[in-house]
Chain A
Amino acid sequence: MHGIPVEGFMYPNEIELQWSVLIVLYPFLTGLVAGAFILASLERVFRIEEVKPTYRLALLTALAFLLVAPLPLQLHLGHPERSLEMYLTPHTSSAMAMFGFVYLWYLMAVLVLEIWLDYRHDIVVLSQTTTGWKRWLYKAMTLGSDNISPSALALDHKVGGIITIIGIPSAFLLHGYVGFIFGSVKANPWWSSPLMPVVFLFSAIVSGIATVMLVYMFLCRARGEQVDMRCVDTVAKYLFYAFLIDFTLELLDLIHRIYEADDSFRSLDFMVHTKLYIPHIVIQILIGTLTPIILLAITQVVRMTAAKRKVMYSLAGCLTLIGIFAMRWNVVIGGQLFSKSFLGYTTYKLGLIDREGLLVAIALTILPFFILWGLVKLLPPWEDVQGSHLEASYGDD
């Protein structure tokens, strides 16, 4: 039936998977958003000066990924034209109903507002100095305000700080609710766990930090600029810490499952050792978690040249992203491979050119980088713009 190979017994309607690779991609993308934002907030709220060079880049990265995030969902829906219903009649008992509002809140009230406030000075200057169609774009982006006096900028900075503070729990909500969507499903023992939102969140932080670190190093290289090692060393340090917490949480989940060995355990254990062996044990744990942790640990204790450290960080960053993607895969796809009768397993058939196929997934993963490129060109995160706020000298507040 369906041409899908089944081992053992599955309820007849369970054989075909419901949530595809696009639903794996969605939490991966929003995770990057949340993680990038948390990195940005490290400087803004927790005054970790070293990571300042990545501040604006982190915000732009978050925006690029946030803009793409609804696309996998729309492509997955049976009736995307009805998605407005989530805004019109949200069912408050459903975590998924939160999506529209949390997304909109985070996009407008946090990210866009913070970016606008932080860049406002540059936007005004650019609206006066550039020529051609860009001039009109910048003019529109000023939203009619061209006051860039020191007091106005100080106000921007203050409000931006408040937004960031609000933004941290908002980022937690943006990605945490996705974890809750899975964690609250009592029908599925692979998903049902109070740890799920927390694990999702910490893996999001890890992936977001890794992405910004990689993008920053790449852009510096592309622009022929020197990488600020003090910055990157600190970013890598926080990546390491976040990873340790993430790994601890996942380990806790594992030990708890093995120890309690409830009615689902035998079936899930068998699945992890067979169908999920490569994605879970090899890719997620060995390659995607343990290896980057070890690489980062080495950089923390062994003295290395800047060049060597950059290589270690790049490698660790790439492996991290692979590992976090694999984690999403193992949760979403893994949770659908076993039967709720605990008597069988099915197979995920990933198409190539389907609406929810591999090519679409790859395109949606690459798209945010194109958008980021556009954003970086439009709103340069570097200290290039004349009189940019990064040079302004209104100390701490």
Chain B
Amino acid sequence: MAAVFAAGILVFLLARSIFVPRTFGQYGHYRGAALAEIAAKPVMFAGHGACEGCHTEVFDVKTKGVHAHVACEACHGPLAKHADDPTALQPPKMDVAVLCVRCHEANKAKPATFPQVVSAEHSGGVPCDTCHKPHSPRIGGADTASAEKASGGGK
């Protein structure tokens, strides 16, 4: 019986040296290599800093309007692939009917100072971008960004 136990322990120690991953314990009780693996995942959103380099005219308009602090990809979706190679991927056309109401459809739980409308009553089915330019949506003058900073835009 003792021999059985001794053999078992020996096999265990041997298995341990073979199977425990090499980077285990490097930073703590986990595989150190996992950090690099997780950090190496592909990026899908380029970040607002990536857009202004090429899209300067849009950028100029946007920074003066109330959407100044809304990131480009908040509406346009993940575009890291486009930022890496602009010709390879053309960003899809936005569906205004769905996009604008996502934020601006009136709801009692939204902060009262946030601009919101009941879309059916507000435009009667007319698309939002008929009257509002998405990059600077306030009607009647773009340069009201500073005055409107309190209404939920500040970042």
Contact = CB atoms under 8 A, between A and B. Distances in A.
A148 to B, nearest CB: 15
Q: Which of B1, B5, B8, B20 has the most CB of A within 10 A?
A: B1
Contact of B19 (A84, A91, A108, A109): A84
Given A84-B19, A108-B8, A89 B24 contact: yes
Interface residues of B, number: 11
B1 A88 contact: no
Interface in B19-62: 19-20, 24, 29
A109 B4 CA distance: 11
- Chain A binding surface, main DSSP class: helix
Nearest to A92: B29
B108 interface: no
A113 interface: yes
A174 to B, nearest CB: 19
Nearest to B17: A88
Interface string A78-115: 00000010011101000000000000000011000100
Contacts of A143: 1, 4
A9 interface: no
B29 A88 contact: no
A143 B1 CA distance: 7
A116 B20 contact: no
B8 A88 contact: no
B20 A89 contact: yes
Interface residues of A, number: 10
B16 A88 contact: yes
Contacts of B19: 84, 88
A109 B9 CA distance: 12
Q: What is the predominant secondary structure among interface residues of chain B facing chain A?
A: helix
A113 B24 CA distance: 35
Given A88-B20, A89-B29, A108 B15 contact: no
Given A84-B19, A108-B8, A91 B29 contact: yes
B15 A88 contact: yes
A89 B16 CA distance: 9
B1 to A, nearest CB: 6
Nearest to A113: B1
A87 B19 CA distance: 10
Nearest to B25: A89
Contacts of B15: 84, 87-88
A286 to B, nearest CB: 45
A87 B24 CA distance: 14
Contacts of B20: 88-89
Contacts of A84: 15, 19
Contacts of B5: 108-109
Contacts of A87: 12, 15-16
A49 B19 CA distance: 49
Given A88-B15, A108-B5, A143-B1, 17 more contacts: A84-B15, A84-B19, A87-B12, A87-B15, A87-B16, A88-B16, A88-B19, A88-B20, A89-B20, A89-B24, A89-B29, A91-B29, A108-B8, A109-B5, A113-B1, A116-B1, A143-B4
Interface of B: 1, 4-5, 8, 12, 15-16, 19-20, 24, 29
14 contacts: A84-B15, A84-B19, A87-B15, A87-B16, A88-B19, A89-B20, A89-B24, A89-B29, A91-B29, A108-B5, A108-B8, A109-B5, A116-B1, A143-B1
